[in-house]
Structure 1
Amino acid sequence: MKGFVLGGVSSGVGKTVATLAITQALSDAGYEVQPAKAGSDFIDPSHHEAIAGRPSRTLDLWLCGEGGLGRNYHRGEGDVCVVEGVMGLYDGDGSSTAMVAEALSLPVVLVVDAKAGMESVAATALGFREYADAIGREVDVAGIVAQRAHGGRHEAGIREALPDDLAYFGRIPPNDDLEIPDRHLGLEMGGEAALPREALREAAETLEAERLAAVARDPPESAAKGSRAAVNPLSTEPRIAIASDVAFAFRYPATIERFRERGEVVTFSPVAGEEVPDCDAVYLPGGYPELHAAELESSGTLSELADLASDGLPVLGECGGLMAMSESLTTAAGDRYEMAGILPADVTMHDRYQALDHVELEAVNGTLTATAGERIRGHEFHYSSADVDDDARFAFETVRGSGIDGDHDGLTEYDSLGTYVHVHAESGAFDRFLESITSSASDNR
């Protein structure tokens, strides 16, 4: 599958809107688009899926490794893969957009804010292309999309100023309807604030879809054939219950795929008060439990989950899942709600983020997602902090990142584990999770 990367000159330049408009333009031209995100984000991919109609792939070198990057790319389906970048093109030491583009040998289409410039837009693009040579990276900046650019003389001035070897792929006109509302952690989810199709189609008309499709190219054969690390065969097929609703929506498609490859997946909604399905383990993904704390407190599902955990049912929670597994959750407004009480911690929301980084953890002892001494990589981004009991037990020491207390992550109680870190299936953590619960699967049913 051919593809290209949309890199921005900075954060906030409008990469997500450009990605959605380009997806619409290519779709209107008859191409099947596979969206992807060069980064660990959950929110932008939800907007990709709302427009493309298929899940967005996660392409992050830190989370997946180079082999996993290629495997995730090639598990996509479609004619053209449109990869939205993260931050500015060269920003990020763990997995920048430029690093992803280089690893997959994909060309970069640079999104430049043209609201207050013409010739300077070309100068910016030229600088981004030449910078790759200056730092020794093989990054092919093929051309630009002019964000917030008017037509007529404005567009003509930008096009004419570009050197011959930098293509002009069109513009995104200024339009208030092309603004996605945001909140803490980023934009609102695609299911909550999808952009109007009419506005996207209007923007698509000012993009050169055929030229964009033509610049796309296939990653090299080596990226297509990376082999996944061998996993232990399972003696039985475990059944995993996954919380899936507006409070627990941050999960990578690859994670669900891995669960389905090696077991059976069932879902339930804690916000709606649904019972926990008969299962061998529970996975609570991240999300926004703080926005639905009142419903979670009154639903009864968390209380049931606590009883099951105390009886030995393994529960794995990531970030929002950790928050729901704690004793209580206090919102930024000061309202306190009772949570499951599986883990000895009280969680408080803040107005500013408390951690944002790629993370590396080392297991102190064997736990649900790692063997003793094993290291796993992931990422953290949260506005909450956890006040833990003095006798709390941690599963991991932080090699990189903040974790729960600056030095540790992974609160553990009974056979359950809650972390601030989100991990990808390519980390091996979910294979360890499946392996660790299989031996007792028949006892839990």
Structure 2
Amino acid sequence: MRGVVIGGTASGVGKTVAALATLRALDAAGYDPRPAKAGPDFIDPSHHAAVAGRPSRTLDPWLEGEDGLRRNYYRGADGTGDEVCVVEGMMGLYDGDAASTAAVAAALGLPVVLVVDASAGMESVAATALGFHEYADRVDADADVVGVLAQRAHGGRHEAGIRDALPDELAYLGRVPPDDALELPDRHLGLYGGREATVPEDALDTAAESVRAERLVELARAPPRPESAGRERPARDRTVAVARDDAFRFCYPTTVERLRERADVVTFAPAAGDDLPECDGVYLPGGYPELHAAELADGPALATLADRAAEGLPVLGECGGLIALSRSLTTTDGGTHAMAGVLPADVTMRERYRALDHVELRAREGTLTAAAGDRLRGHEFHYSDCAPDRDARFAFDVVRGEGVDGERDGLVEHRTLGTYAHVHPESGAFDAFVDEL
């Protein structure tokens, strides 16, 4: 499966809209576009899925390792021959150390199309792009910037000035016109999701018309296929209940796919009034429980979950799931809502983020996702503080990151584990979880 990386000069330059326009342009040109996202983000992929009609792959060397990166990339391939993967980068191209967009491009051997904000420049767009192209050699980043997509660029003389100023080693791959309809709204944790704030079809079609899909496909490359999945385990006759609604939306597609390979999966919507279904284990992903605290408190699922957890049902909650498993949640408006009460902690939402980073955890003891001494890599991004009881049990020491209190993460009660860290199935955590059921 051929692919390209849509990198940017900085955060906020318009990579998401550029990626969406590229997906639409490839589709209009008769190709089979497959979306992906560099970095641990959950929100941008929801916009990809809304436009492409298929899941967007998360590609993060820190979470998955290079072999896992390639395995996940090719999970999105069906072998049709017309597939072209569009990987949206994160932040600026070189930002993020070992998990940067440049690192993802280098690990997969994909070329980079650089998104440059051209709203107030012409020849300077070329100078900026050339600097990013040559900087790779300066820092030995092995990222190949091959072309430019001009964001917020007008047609006519503006477009011609950008195109004509580019040196021979950089291809002009089109523009995204300035249009307020193409500016996606955001809130805490990032953009509004793809189901909440879709780009108008006519505006996206207009943007796609200016993307040079055929030239982009000429530049695309295919990474080498991984030899094997590397972690085959037999399926188990077990059922995992996965919360999936507006309160629990931060779940990698690969996580559900991996759970389905190992067990039966049923989904339920606690914020919409669903009760907990019959199951052998529960996974509560992250999301926005703070926006649906009243519905969660009034619904039946958390009470049933508390009863089943006390009986020994294995329950795994990540970030928003940790919040839902706590005793209470106090929102920024000062309201306090009862949560499941499984974990001995109270959570308070804050106006500013409290943690944002890749993390590494070391298991203090055997737990649902790791054996004693194992290390798990993940990421955390949250606007809440968790205040556990003084005698609360923790599953992990924090090697890198913040966790619950800067030193520990993974509150444990009964057979329930709640972490601020999100982990990827390539870590083996979800295999270990199914093995515990």
TM-score, normalised to structure 2, is 0.98
DSSP 3-state at the match of 1:87: coil
- The within-5 A match list for 1:330-349 is 330-349=330-349
Letter of the 2:430 partner, please give it: F
User: Is contact 1:280–1:313 with CA below 8 Å preserved after alignment?
Assistant: yes
Residues of 1 paired with 2:289 and 2:226: CA distance? 39
SS of the residue 1:121 aligns to? helix
CA contact 2:6–2:114 (8 Å) conserved in 1? yes
The answer (yes or no) to whether the contact 2:284–2:321 under 8 Å persists in 1 is: yes
**Letter aligned with residue 25 of structure 2:** A
Residue in structure 2 matched with residue 152 of structure 1 by the alignment = 156
| Contact kept? 1:232, 1:435, Cα under 8 Å | no
Whole-angstrom distance in 1 between the partners of 2:195 and 2:355: 26
Matched residue, 1:88 = 92
Q: 1: CA distance between counterparts of 2:290 and 2:232?
A: 36
Q: CA deviation at 1:231?
A: 5.0
Partner of 1:373: helix, strand, or coil?
Answer: coil
In the aligned structure 1, how far is the partner of 2:229 from the partner of 2:408?
29
Do residues 230 (structure 1) and 234 (structure 2) align?
Answer: no
| Partner in structure 2 of residue 140 of structure 1 | 144
1:152 Cα deviation after fit = 1.1
Q: Any idea what the Cα deviations from partners look like across 1:240-262, whole Å, max 9, x if unmatched?
A: 00011110011011111111101
1:397 aligns with 2:397: yes
Distance, in Å, in 1 between the alignment partners of 2:137 and 2:232 is: 40
Looking at structure 2, the residues matched to 225 and 285 of structure 1 have their Cα atoms a distance apart, in angstroms, of 28
Deviations 1:248-287 (A, max 9, x none): 0110111111111011000111112212111100000000
CA contact (8 A) 1:67 1:227 kept: no
Kindly provide the CA deviation profile for residues 287-341 of structure 1, in whole angstroms up to 9, marking residues without a partner as x.
0000000100101210111011001111100000000000001111111100000
Residue 122 of structure 2: aligned partner:
118
1:231, 1:146 → 2: CA distance? Answer: 44
Q: CA deviation at 1:137?
A: 2.2
Q: Which amino acid aligns with 1:81?
A: C
Task: Please list the CA deviations of residues 7-51 of structure 1 after superposition, one character each: whole Å capped at 9, or x if unmatched.
Answer: 000000000000001111111111111000011000000000000
1:233 Cα deviation after fit: 4.0
Counterpart of 2:102?
A: 98
Determine whether 1:365 maps to 2:365: yes
Other-structure match for 1:266: 266
Q: CA deviation at 1:226?
A: 4.3
On the 8 A contact 2:152/2:175 being kept in 1, the answer is yes
Cα deviation for residue 228 of structure 1 reads 3.5
Amino acid at match of 1:428: G
2:278 match:
278
Per the TM alignment, residue 232 of structure 1 is displaced from its structure 2 partner at its CA by 4.9
Q: Secondary structure at the match of 1:129?
A: helix
Query: Could you tell me how far apart the structure 2 residues matched to 1:370 and 1:130 are?
Result: 43
- Distance in 1 between residues matched to 2:220 and 2:388, nearest whole Å: 50
Counterpart-to-counterpart distance in 2, 1:370 and 1:229: 18
1:129 aligns with 2:129: no
Which has the higher mean CA deviation after the structures are superposed, 21-30 or 9-18?
21-30
For structure 1, which runs of at least 5 residues remain unmatched after alignment?
438-445
Amino acid paired to 2:363: A
Query: Retained in 1: the 8 A contact 2:247–2:271?
Result: yes
Counterpart amino acid of 2:342?
A: I
Counterpart-to-counterpart distance in 2, 1:227 and 1:371:
24
2:197 to 189, 193, 199: 193
Structure 2 residue matching 1:86: 3-state secondary structure? coil
- Alignment match, 2:431: 431
Shift in Å, 1:227? 3.2
8 Å CA contact 1:359–1:377 kept in 2: the answer is yes
Q: Is the 8 A contact 2:275 2:299 kept in 1?
A: no
Q: Deviations over 1:330-371 (max 9, x none)?
A: 111111100000001110111100000000000000000000
Q: What displacement does 1:213 show?
A: 1.6
Q: Distance in 2 between matches of 1:115 and 1:250?
A: 33
> What residue identity is the alignment partner of 2:209?
E
Asked if residue 218 in structure 1 is aligned to residue 219 in structure 2, the reply is no
Aligned to 2:180: 176
Distance 2:123 2:199 in 1: 30
TM-score with structure 1 setting the length: 0.96
Cα deviation digits, residues 415-436 of structure 1 (max 9, x gap): 0000000000000111111111
Percent identity, aligned pairs only? 66
Equivalent residue number for residue 211 of structure 2: 207
